[in-house]
Amino acid sequence: MENIEVSKIIEPIAASDGAGVKLKRSIGTHLIDYHDPFLMLDEFGSENKDDYIGGFPPHPHRGIETVTYMLSGEFEHEDSTGAKGKMSAGDVQWMKTGSGIIHSEMPAMTEGKLHGFQLWINMPAKLKMNQPEYIYIDAKKMQVYKDDEKKINIIAGKFKGKEGPVKNHNISPVYFDVEIEKGKKFNFELSPTHNSLIYLIEGEIKVGEENHKQAKNSKLIILTKGRKLEVSGLTKAKFLLISGKPIGEIIARGGPFVMNTKEEILKAVEDYHSGNFVKK
């Protein structure tokens, strides 16, 4: 099928993580556990400091990539590779945890609005025990496409000659932050082999040519496979477009660890508690 349509629209579930950070979880729930290669998608956002002040104290990961994208507010990051820094609005932290990393993400603010996203991407078995990598993307250096109808921050993938900073990745990802004006359209060609989704942040949109139920504010929209994506702005709207090549492997989950077998999960837990988790 050439034209991409809506497969399903999912209402995110209220959850909390870290030290009580309130968030909306749309992948990694009973409604949709996994959308290969995407393991989890969280939106965190509040103007009430009590909803985010606890942050995400030091915790381990193995076998996944975590992508944190800030829309407003500030987070301080520190991890066992020695990477350290402050994330501000528009910044991205793309972390390949590989064989093991311990990191923390703590709000660098005590009031005001904090808003952002965290996406978990699976890693194929052959890469899960690689050395961790940390990619920090400064908003000031991000490629942006803009015309009278739309504005696109390009984190990964290409749009009209502009390319995001995440390149040569095994899932050939697309990660766009799109703002579209009312009555205008966003057209893009995706790989027909990829699994793709839209996360609608605000506004109302129509996807494809077929009628679908209302897509308005904080909705996960799972897309059918195809090539031609058309999104119409029924109001001024903002959304994330995320797409990647499926890995197609069996997964085993254990909290912050995602491997291929239960035995590998038990080994990760054992390594963490024995102090052998982080390889220098």
Residue 280 lies in a domain: no
Contacts of residue 217, Cβ cutoff 8 Å, sequence gap at least 6: 200, 201, 202, 203, 204
Q: What is the dihedral of CA 206, 227, 176, 143, to 10 degrees?
A: -130
Q: According to the model, what pLDDT value does residue 1 have?
A: 61
Task: Please report which residue ranges of 108-204 form alpha helices under DSSP H.
Answer: none
Residue 63 pLDDT level (bands cut at 50, 70, 90): very high
DSSP state of 224: P
Q: What is the CATH number of the domain that holds 163?
A: 2.60.120.10
Tell me the per-residue pLDDT of 118-153, one tens digit each, with 9 for 90 and over: 999 999 999 999 999 888 899 988 999 999 999 999
Residue 280 pLDDT level (bands cut at 50, 70, 90): low
Q: Which domain holds residue 183?
A: 6-274
Residue 123 lies in a domain: yes
Tell me the per-residue pLDDT of 1-46, one tens digit each, with 9 for 90 and over: 699 999 999 999 998 887 788 899 999 999 999 999 999 999 998 8
Environment class of 248 (CB within 10 Å of its CB; exposed 0-12, middle 13-18, buried 19+) = exposed
Q: What is the dihedral of CA 180, 162, 172, 188, to 10 degrees?
A: 40
Residue 1 lies in a domain: no
- What is the C-alpha separation between 94 and 78, in angstroms, rounded? 13
In the chain, pLDDT over 70 holds for what percent of residues?
99
Q: Nearest Cα to 175, choosing from 184, 183, 165?
A: 165
Residue 279 lies in a domain: no
Q: According to the model, what pLDDT value does residue 182 have?
A: 97
* SS3 category, 262: helix
Residue 200 lies in a domain: yes
pTM for the model stands at 0.95
Query: In Å, how far are 111, 127, 167 from 132, measured between CA atoms?
Result: 33, 10, 17
Helix H, strand E, coil C: the string for 133-146 is EEEEECHHHCEEEE
* SS3 category, 50: helix
Residue 159 lies in a domain: yes
Q: Total domain count for the chain?
A: 1
